[in-house]
Amino acid sequence: MTESLESLVVAYPTKEHRVPDDTHCMNEVAIYGVDHSPWVQSVAMALHYYGVPYRLVSQPTRLRSYWVSGMVMPECRWPDGKVTRDSFEILNEIRRRFQRAHQSGDIQRYQQTRLERLFLTYALERVAGIKVVRFVYEWSRMPSGHGPSLASIFRAFMCLYFLVLIGVGRAVAKKRRKTPDAYYGLNSHLQTIGDWLEGRDFFAGDVPGLLDFAVFGQVQSMLSGLTDEVREAITGRAELNAWCQRMRRAVEGYPHDFSIRLEQPNQGPRRASSGDQILFVLALLLFVIASPLTLAALVDAFLRRRRNPNRSGERL
């Protein structure tokens, strides 16, 4: 039996605990990424929780970022102009800059590795067979952060990039005699993560900490519409499901929240405007038509990814 919402009344930090220091709030934080990414979700939720204004944009925060990191996300540009890459490093930076009332512990290396393995158990299934159509459709609906703009066009290229990347990952899995469509190891990973709670309300104790945001980012990604089959794997674990409900209350009002789909599968956050989606589709068609140039651009992006130590799976 899962906990009801009424029974999940816990002592979350008060508003004054969440408001960051005024010297850091002059401008919003820019996050490069999309809300189907667990790593991006963890960063955006942490900023929302601490009351830090941010904008999620589906293009690198500046051109130099692409030359340095390729299309690996998230990347955070702070109000002072500094840039941090890798979600775990960004979470640490959020704590350093904005957290005041409760200093939660670091995310340990073995926990980071476990989360990367969890990601691979469901991410490879996103483009299985006819799911490719769903994959492209959901990418078209991701808000760009700018409305119909260059970000819409860049998001179309990102869609192709990740479509190919996941396809390569599936091929590698099959070569290693693993079935990428079987969610291999998913239940084992969820069991281990559930054990980390050790009866506490949150991984950090009485209030959410960095690991809570990192894990809930995975939940958000799993429920984003590309891997609906895993929903029962979460709801079937009472302790993990109850923790999800507590996290939902903790980040109430979060604009990229997919976790409502635990209870209402047909609900979800606001999606891209019609103009944004139309521009995405037109750009995608143009990339397909100009396939030789697109292929060259993809090769360049993959080479940059390979040199990036912050890419998904690097810890594996």
Within a domain: residue 79?
Answer: yes
Taking the C-alpha atoms of residue 101 and residue 16, their distance in angstroms, rounded to an integer, is 9
Residues 6+ apart with CB under 8 A from 239: 194, 197
pLDDT in tens, 109-144: 899 999 999 998 999 889 888 889 999 999 999 887
Taking the C-alpha atoms of residue 135 and residue 36, their distance in angstroms, rounded to an integer, is 11
Residue-range definition of the domain harbouring residue 142: 14-306
Taking the C-alpha atoms of residue 209 and residue 135, their distance in angstroms, rounded to an integer, is 31
* Burial class of residue 184 in the structure, from the number of CB atoms within 10 Å of its CB (0-12 exposed, 13-18 middle, 19+ buried): middle
Structure tokens at 291: 């396939």
Within a domain: residue 76?
Answer: yes
Q: How confident is the model at residue 229 (pLDDT cuts 50, 70, 90)?
A: confident
- Please report where in the chains the tokens 């506490």 appear, as a residue: 200
Within a domain: residue 277?
Answer: yes
Domain total in the chain: 1
Taking the C-alpha atoms of residue 55 and residue 146, their distance in angstroms, rounded to an integer, is 9
Tell whether the model's pLDDT for residue 62 goes beyond 90. no
pLDDT in tens, 288-309: 999 999 999 999 888 888 776 6
Within a domain: residue 3?
Answer: no
Structure tokens at 232: 């029962």
Does a cis peptide bond (omega within 30 degrees of 0) precede residue 143? no
pLDDT at res. 8:
33
Within a domain: residue 146?
Answer: yes
**Helix, strand or coil for residue 147?**
coil
At 283, the amino acid letter reads A
CATH of the domain at 118: 1.20.1050.130
Q: How many CB atoms lie within 10 A of CB 305?
A: 17
Within a domain: residue 281?
Answer: yes
